[in-house]
Structure 1
């Protein structure tokens, strides 16, 4: 079975983690600081705070911005529940937004329509599947309505917008280093910012021990073991991104698709079909694991309606394997199966 996702771990990664274990310093320490410095320099921001997950980074981001009980936070419906959890963690109210049909990203027009009528405390924009959001539009909304923007770059490390790496546009940005992300620390995340106050507050809140004054804090630390893996993985990020792009271009040619945009990276490769669920099952029988790219949109959890583009994307979209350790033979098997099972091809647009 060709898995839908698979981490790319080599002997250098294993050696890096082994060295930390042998050193005896396995919890948060100098490796964490080194990892924070490397990633923040790459993104082009002042600093970073490594934490235990992307969800933890989102939670701390909202706390840094002063989001509290009863505040409203705008998030896309077509995303994983991590955002919903983070909003609920601080007692805020999630206000879901529909997506742009072509990019799968949060629709700025939908958001502006909401902001004309009501106020919100923050917007979380997700660079979905590696394609940058229309950042100019959201920075304009941020200025016009005095609302801060948090960039969720969990699926887009290395992507750029107008020549700058994403993650440096919002007041705060976050990354995830889960096992199937662009680089991995097993579990892990990171908050990044140019604002000293946010960085200081996030560092204070991520650990609760040895504090002069008690307040609610968290056990959100990243370990040196995880950071050692992250540092080793980060060295290979350019080759990881290049291999993902090579596979995507192979898919484009084989499937007759155009799936390119300046600045994007290929975290996921998405196909659209009116028979998505059936195709996933047929690919499974061929020994290829495909998935819905989003298990369930958030409005299905909250019981809301009024998100037609999200609904269409969810019904029609299929995510096929794309990751650096995918072999040429596996890529060929995937394309052969898709061409045989869907001789009519795949449309561009929502569920490309």
Structure 2
């Protein structure tokens, strides 16, 4: 089976893990500091807090922005992994779901409607599948009203919007370093901001002192692996982009198949190569039968999943019935890419 996602580790990660084992310093050591500094510099943010997961990062970011009660409204897009809405609920806030556009990111037109109706404290644009949301439009809606913009960049390591890194486009951002991500630690996350005030509030939640706090630290093993993953990120992302471009060229004339589109001014890093087809379930089933690890992302919209307040999310609902992914990870070999291309083409043409 060709896996849908496969992390790429090398001698550097292996050597570092063994070094950490021998040192006995398995938490709060030099690798945690090195990763924190490297990731902060890479994204271009002033402050970075590594934590144990992307979900924990979202939760702490929301608490740092003052989400505490049902009166605190947080707007999220219809299409995302469940952690985006769960973090809002866990923080004590009330999520409101708006639809996504053709880029699978939050629809600015609907966002404007929701902002007027619900008066949110926070908006969470998700840079879904590796492509940044339309941040200029989102910020133009939010900034005049004093609404915080929290980027969910869990799938967008190295993605760019008008030459600026995802994760350095709003007031605060969060990342995940789960095993499937473009920077893979196994587990892990990070919160980044350029605001001194927000940084202090993040610290109050995760640094023990004269206040209650949570232990959400990463280990030295995670940080050491993440450090080398980050060093390889641009190269690995370019491999993803080349495979995606090849797919786009080969699939462009297939009937009924909707391809991912890289929007103008945005750099897509293809954490997921997402396709759409009305006969999605049949295609996915047959791809798996033929040894290709196709998968559905996502079978639900967030308002359906958590029975949340929402605007008209009919496009997102349509997408969840058609969308699926094929492997695009940098561990793919040329013959595997060729096999995936020919198999998809044959299936779609004959369905």
Q: TM-score range by the shorter chain?
A: over 0.9
The residue number in structure 1 matching 2:248 is 252
Per the TM alignment, residue 203 of structure 1 is displaced from its structure 2 partner at its CA by 2.8
Q: C-alpha displacement at 1:207, in angstroms?
A: 4.6
Match of 2:193 in 1: 193
Residue of structure 2 equivalent to 1:119: 119
> Post-superposition shift, 1:266?
1.5
Question: Which sits farther off after the overlay, 36-45 or 299-308?
Answer: 299-308
Report Cα offsets for 1:2-40 as digits up to 9, x if no partner: 111111112221111211121111012322121111111
Q: Which moved more, 1:199-208 or 1:74-83?
A: 199-208
Partner of 1:158: 158
Which of 212, 218, 225 is the aligned partner of 2:221?
225
The aligned counterpart of 1:348 is none
Map 1:2-151; keep pairs closer than 5 Å: 2-70=2-70, 71-100=72-101, 102-151=102-151
Question: Bigger CA drift: 195-204 or 252-261?
Answer: 252-261
Counterpart Cα distance in 1 of 2:249 and 2:57: 38
Q: Could you say which residue in structure 2 is the equivalent of 1:349?
A: none
SS at match of 1:55: helix
1:103-128 deviation per Cα after TM superposition (whole angstroms, max 9, x unaligned)? 00011111111111221110011011
Give the whole-Å Cα distance in 2 for the aligned partners of 1:58 and 1:42. Answer: 20
2:125 counterpart SS class: strand
TM-score of the superposed pair, with normalisation by structure 2: 0.93
Q: Which SS does the other structure have where 1:126 is aligned? A: coil
Q: 2:232 aligns with which of 222, 233, 236?
A: 236
Greater Cα offset, 126-135 or 24-33: 24-33
* Conservation of the 8 A alpha-carbon contact between 1:80 and 1:295: no
In structure 2, the CA distance between the partners of 1:200 and 1:144, relative to structure 1 (3 Å rule), is closer
Residue 282 (structure 2) aligns with: 278
Question: Please, which of 270, 273, 278 is the counterpart of residue 269 of structure 1?
Answer: 273
Tell me by how many angstroms 1:258 deviates.
7.2
How many residue pairs get matched?
340
Asked if the contact 1:52/1:221 (under 8 Å) is kept, the reply is yes
1:205 aligns with 2:211: no
Structure 1 length-normalised TM: 0.93
Unaligned 5+ segments in structure 1 are 346-352
User: For the Cα contact (< 8 Å) 1:207–1:220, is it kept in 2?
Assistant: no
Distance 2:242 2:327 in 1: 13
Are residues 287 and 259 of structure 1, via their aligned partners in 2, closer, same or farther at CA, if it must alter by over 3 Å? same
Which residue of structure 2 aligns with residue 180 of structure 1?
A: 180
The reply on whether 1:303 has 2:307 as its aligned counterpart is: yes
Q: Deviations over 1:56-86 (max 9, x none)?
A: 1101101111111111110112111111221
What is the CA-CA distance between 1:214 and the residue it aligns to? 4.1
Conserved? CA contact 1:132–1:161, under 8 Å: yes
Moved over 4 A (4+): none
SS at 2:17 equivalent: helix
Structure 1 counterpart SS, 2:27: coil
